[in-house]
Structure 1
Amino acid sequence: MLCHFNEQLLVQLLPPVLITEIILGVLANGLALWIFCFHLKPWTSSTVFLFNMTLADFLLIVALPFRASYYLSGMKWTFGHTFCNINLFMLAMNRSGSIMFLMSVAVDRYVRVVHPHHPVNSLSICKAVCCVAGLWALTISMTAHLLVIPRKDNVTESHNHCESFTVEGELIKGEPKFKGFGLTWHRSVFVFSFWLPLAVILYCTFHVIDHLRRRQLGQHAKIKKALRFISVVVAVFIVCYLPSNIIKILTWIESERPQSEGCANLEDLNTAFYIAITLTYLNSTLDPVFYYLSSPAFQKIFKRAIILQARKPEIGLYYIANGLDQVH
């Protein structure tokens, strides 16, 4: 289905939102990476997962200025087709990577709290790095197809667009090899990279909360605070990512209808999707805030590193990665 939409709302609404996310994301994630690299000793396996989630968030934010420029230019891409593919790849890879590492952190917390004597809890730094490398390889393999999407150099109004999805139901009109497998793979990755991690994160979170409550540890003030923050992190994750996934599925369903029936609804869905996908970037700006608010150790190092300019790194920041590790 080929529809033509009025994109004026997106051009007006998205740039200020993206610019705000860029500023907050660079400051928050840059600061978190700085603390991890220069003020965090010793590292644990949990820290490795948390550091890589922060790295994925930071790399995603770094790719956003080009999207802001794209919308400020009236949705006309001015950086060339090759860099368009690279930018789309960076956004997709690091968005998926951030979700995957958040899932790994949730699994790590679950095993440490619910199964404190499991061998995984003694995972070495080297093995944790291997796990992280595997997650990066998986994420890259799922999104690498965006690097080779062909883009036609024609004189139509759409050739300056830089999008990984198009509502007419194909990645590039007239390119058969991307009509079938390419589109199916792209859609599958978009859905898989959210729904599976969401299921794992919910499973781990519910079991951690249930385990602590059954052991009557949930009445302790510190534990209650930790449980609230766990719930808030999951809630923010769902709020940021769920709308775009639901809207995109609805768009796919609507795009299968005849053009005379579907275009009106598709315009609304298309606008809602681009607003919702911008909301997913907000999660990457909020992750470091949760580190600070949920961990006294992180707050202590932040104050010493930023306010007091301490020379020696604070020992014990690894508790931010373990969270409730000491509660068995």
Structure 2
Amino acid sequence: MDCLNGTLLSQLLPPVLISETLLGVLGNGLALWFFCFYLKPWRSSSVLLFNLALADFLLIVALPFRACYYLYGMNWKFGDTFCKINLFMLAMNRTGSIMFLMAIAVDRYVRVVHPHHRVNSLSVYKATCCAAGLWLVAISMTAHPVAMMRNNTSHCESFMVKTEFSFSLKWHRSVFVLSFWLPLTVILYCTVQIVVHLRRRKLAQDAKIRKALVFVTVVVVIFIICYLPSDVTQLLIWINVSEGCSGLLDLTTAFYITITLTYLNSMLNPIIYYLSSPSFEKIYRRTIKRVKSIKNQVADAAEAGDKARETGSESISQI
């Protein structure tokens, strides 16, 4: 592909994508299991967290095909239709994950700064309707990869370096950039307002308040680490696109490397679930205890089997 170091990407990205897939499926699959079978009763914030886990899980499902794509030297083996579906899944669930992170930050801001606001008493049904609205916005913003024309059917990419006008590509880049900077502004505003509010009321020493501060800080840190590098490189590509491929080779290669950090978000979001509610924390600890108990039982059984074999060997030697 033009303007890309395909050899480097084919060597570097497959192990990263496979690792993100395995850890993302484990973390978000476990989170979805908790939400569906253990987290009761649900609140409006639970609906937002569940949809965040769902968006992350659906994004992770698309990653093995990207790993195969790079393993085959950036040669797509699954057909044109599935390429468009795969690109749509990546774009939609990235945008959906960002929107639900923003919604979670706003929800926490309202609960801390405006505890008597009627939004805090939002029913689960209304929260579900709001989540459905966010999904519709994410889908409408990212449906364009399905209609994008692919001149080279062996490649499956939605970001092409072109100097001529392409409405679909410009829209794709605009959504990619704006879907980061606008939510980042909202998340930073919510975080600053929470900190100022708590310091003004001198509540920062309370355990629950400290946990709320840790929560919003983790949301900001995960958001910036995962999404900032790829958005900065995409902006630099957009600004310097007139230089042609010779001047953009390093930037475009860096973009495809940094975009894998956006998938890292799906691995890190389980930290947010853990910090979100005491019930989730209790369930998590209970599961860890069960796993340790099973390991101890297996170890005890193995030890008993070893002793039985040793006893049998001694009996045979005595005979």
Q: Under TM normalisation by the shorter chain, which class is it?
A: 0.7 to 0.9
Shift of 1:284: 1.2
Contact 1:3 1:168 in 2 (8 A): no
User: Which piece of structure 1 moves more, 138-147 or 283-292?
Assistant: 283-292
The percentage of counterpart residues that share the same residue type is 67
Looking at structure 2, the residues matched to 8 and 219 of structure 1 have their Cα atoms a distance apart, in angstroms, of 53
Aligned residue for 2:106? Answer: 107
Shift of 1:180: 3.5
Looking at structure 1, the residues matched to 112 and 96 of structure 2 have their Cα atoms a distance apart, in angstroms, of 24
Paired letter, 1:191: V
Structure 2 unmatched runs, 5+:
292-319
Aligned residue for 1:321? Answer: none
Aligned residue for 2:299? Answer: none
Paired letter, 1:118: H
Aligned residue for 1:173? Answer: none
Paired letter, 2:274: Y
Paired letter, 1:197: P
Structure with more helix by fraction:
2
Contact 2:160 2:169 in 1 (8 A): no
Aligned residue for 2:314? Answer: none
Paired letter, 1:10: L
Q: Which of 264, 276, 301 pairs up with 1:282?
A: 264
Higher RCO structure (Cα 8 Å, ≥6 apart) = 1
Corresponding position: 1:150 with 2:149? yes
Looking at structure 2, the residues matched to 215 and 78 of structure 1 have their Cα atoms a distance apart, in angstroms, of 60
Aligned residue for 1:235? Answer: 221
Corresponding position: 1:165 with 2:159? yes
Contact 2:101 2:219 in 1 (8 A): no
Shift of 1:149: 1.4
User: Which piece of structure 1 moves more, 300-309 or 43-52?
Assistant: 300-309
Distance 1:122 1:294, change over 3 A: closer
Corresponding position: 1:264 with 2:246? yes
Return the index of the structure with the highest Cα Rg.
2
Aligned residue for 1:224? Answer: 210
Distance 1:229 1:45, change over 3 A: closer
Contact 1:39 1:305 in 2 (8 A): no
Paired letter, 1:286: L
Aligned residue for 1:319? Answer: none
Looking at structure 1, the residues matched to 39 and 7 of structure 2 have their Cα atoms a distance apart, in angstroms, of 46
Shift of 1:188: 1.5
Shift of 1:232: 2.8
Residues 226-268 of structure 1: CA distance to partner in whole angstroms, max 9, x if unpaired?
42342133112101101100100111121123x4xxx333110
Aligned residue for 1:251? Answer: 237
Shift of 1:3: 4.3
Structure 1 unmatched runs, 5+:
153-157, 171-178, 310-328
Paired letter, 1:164: S
Paired letter, 1:289: I
Shift of 1:9: 0.9
Contact 2:3 2:248 in 1 (8 A): no
Looking at structure 1, the residues matched to 108 and 189 of structure 2 have their Cα atoms a distance apart, in angstroms, of 12
Aligned residue for 1:86? Answer: 85
Distance 1:4 1:48, change over 3 A: closer
Corresponding position: 1:13 with 2:12? yes
Shift of 1:225: 4.3
Aligned residue for 1:22? Answer: 21
Aligned residue for 1:141? Answer: 140
Aligned residue for 1:323? Answer: none
Aligned residue for 1:313? Answer: none
